[in-house]
Structure 1
């Protein structure tokens, strides 16, 4: 039997205020004064000098502000790579992503495409990347997606929504400073936190489960329960614990997989542009049949935090549009296999998926 030999993030710094050490981290990695560091920053921070004034710029370093309003797209990556190449005297010393899952995925994809020929869409899939990415750093400003630790970068391409899954995808360095998450709006905090919770449920109940995934998944799940159903935490404690839950939830799926909610939310995202966190919540709300205990707890969390999910997303869709979503969902074979085993096609038919989508 052969076992997967997965890479992990080799360096991580954790602690409130650790963002201030960014200059110390980057300085030894600078290749030359003509090889800039490129900071890809969520544009919600554009007018937030509390964060932006602390970004250590020197020489030709640049900040590129990027909207996270939509999920990252392959052509967006291609345009960014072109912009960086055209405006840099030499290949950059590194790419630093500062933001939520969208910005972290964009940073990972850009760092790969700076050293690999062609377009980003050509690398959607498993282990298609040939050359090592340039040095890249992830700095999450919201917790839950696990993008800071995963070996994928999820992109919507012309044909499908699928990640660049590769050993070259994970960050070389991650900075976990929970203070950066202090201004996250409540609904976004919930949706992204639930992304982490759903990772855990899907990993822990999957057929790919093993002791490695289980130990991380259980830890993240307990943290999620403490954060979203407990009462005793200060804001600082909750922020730190959710950052750890995100990390452990991401680690849990490194060696296993996600399941039904993720497969179906990819369909919503591809057709309707639904953001990943809220998309997972909308789908998971209807999955009692697959995850009875997980969905019951999810509904308790939703009630406790007074969250109401959008309804009727699929009410007016044509059969053709529903078919597009179903095709995207069905293409994610490893997710279905993890959720339901090798014979998943006996349970998951087009008719079944259509009836589930029509409830959303």
Structure 2
């Protein structure tokens, strides 16, 4: 679990006092910041760089890659003779996942691709802080950092992955475009659906999942567009949804969206929405609710993404999805392979 968290409007301004005790002599803090904030002077001034601290702008246009992690680590090691005091991620799920991965790879040898899987990390990561600027991904709380590698899309899932500190300031989510607000919020909703309907469910994950699920219904069915109160609620839903899957697992939608992302580069939030729209067979009540939310907010869910794929692309997509065994076990039980055959997966993908 993340050991320390602060929450509240304006709490981002506590960052300096949070970091001060962690600063090591001559060792910088490295800030990975979503490049959408490049022209946001107010936010950049509030970061308050000290001494030889370094700010790196990160594009979130594409899903994070193992090669990107390796390059950032290489650049940091080339510029600084001292191991950084810490890595601070400020952004959405892409930037937060990159920050977790970079902090791990600063203390572990090889490539980030070597650690894609469960409990492969041997050495504790450097101190790392997560500051989400959009709500829903759960990246701020999860024990995984999802990366696209040379042969698969899979997380570095370990006890060393979670942030040492998280700063949850709903003010930082002001200005998120409506579609992105919805797609990322639905990532949270789908986390809850897959956790609450999974075979790995336990009392701990259920308590978090039910709270996040109810908050998502309030936000996307009752409250309309985000205001100060709903921004805070969605930030809490993201946290609770992330906690729920941290102690259970996700399911069909996430497994299939990984395939979409690997082959087509589809962003995670919208990819989950594209897939979930066709999963009434597995989550009937929740897909009906999802469709109601889509209609209420007049959101466009892309169609026809897989209609012109080659057989090789479809097979790669299916291979990626089927490789995520724990997700299928959670969703469909130990005999999942009898239910989710390659033909069944192909049929589902071709609807998208």
Q: TM-score, normalised by structure 1?
A: 0.97
Instruction: Please say if residues 185 and 234 of structure 2, whose CA atoms lie closer than 8 Å, have aligned partners that are also in contact.
Output: yes
Distance 1:70 1:287 in 2: 25
1:317 has 2:309 as partner: yes
Could you tell which deviates more after superposition, 173-182 or 84-93?
A: 84-93
Distance 1:358 1:112 in 2: 38
1:23 has 2:31 as partner: no
Distance 1:232 1:118 in 2: 47
The aligned residue for residue 194 of structure 1 is: 186
Deviation at 1:231, TM superposition (A): 3.2
**RMSD of Structure 2 on Structure 1 (CA):** 0.8
Deviation at 1:184, TM superposition (A): 0.4
Which of these residues, 332, 348, 353, is aligned with residue 345 of structure 2?
353
Where 1:146 maps in the other structure, the secondary structure is coil
List gaps (5 residues or longer) in structure 2.
Answer: none
1:13 has 2:6 as partner: yes
Deviation at 1:234, TM superposition (A): 6.5
Distance 1:68 1:78 in 2: 17
Distance 2:104 2:223 in 1: 42
Where 1:50 maps in the other structure, the secondary structure is helix
1:147 has 2:152 as partner: no
List gaps (5 residues or longer) in structure 1.
Answer: 1-7
Which of these residues, 37, 41, 44, is aligned with residue 33 of structure 2?
41
Distance 1:125 1:76 in 2: 18
Q: Deviations over 1:204-249 (max 9, x none)?
A: 0001111001000000000000000013887000100000000000
Distance 1:50 1:179 in 2: 12
Distance 2:203 2:50 in 1: 45
Paired residue total: 352
1:122 has 2:122 as partner: no
Deviation at 1:52, TM superposition (A): 1.0
Instruction: Please say if residues 223 and 230 of structure 2, whose CA atoms lie closer than 8 Å, have aligned partners that are also in contact.
Output: no
Alignment of 1:204-243 (within 5 A): 204-231=196-223, 235-243=227-235
Deviation at 1:53, TM superposition (A): 1.2
Where 1:96 maps in the other structure, the secondary structure is strand
Q: TM-score, normalised by structure 2?
A: 0.99
Deviation at 1:51, TM superposition (A): 1.0
Where 1:54 maps in the other structure, the secondary structure is helix
The aligned residue for residue 181 of structure 1 is: 173
Distance 2:242 2:53 in 1: 30
Where 2:345 maps in the other structure, the secondary structure is helix
The aligned residue for residue 252 of structure 1 is: 244
Could you tell which deviates more after superposition, 224-233 or 323-332?
A: 224-233
Instruction: Please say if residues 4 and 166 of structure 2, whose CA atoms lie closer than 8 Å, have aligned partners that are also in contact.
Output: yes
Deviation at 1:308, TM superposition (A): 1.1
Instruction: Please say if residues 224 and 297 of structure 2, whose CA atoms lie closer than 8 Å, have aligned partners that are also in contact.
Output: no
Structure 1 stretches of 4+ with a deviation exceeding 2 A read 231-234
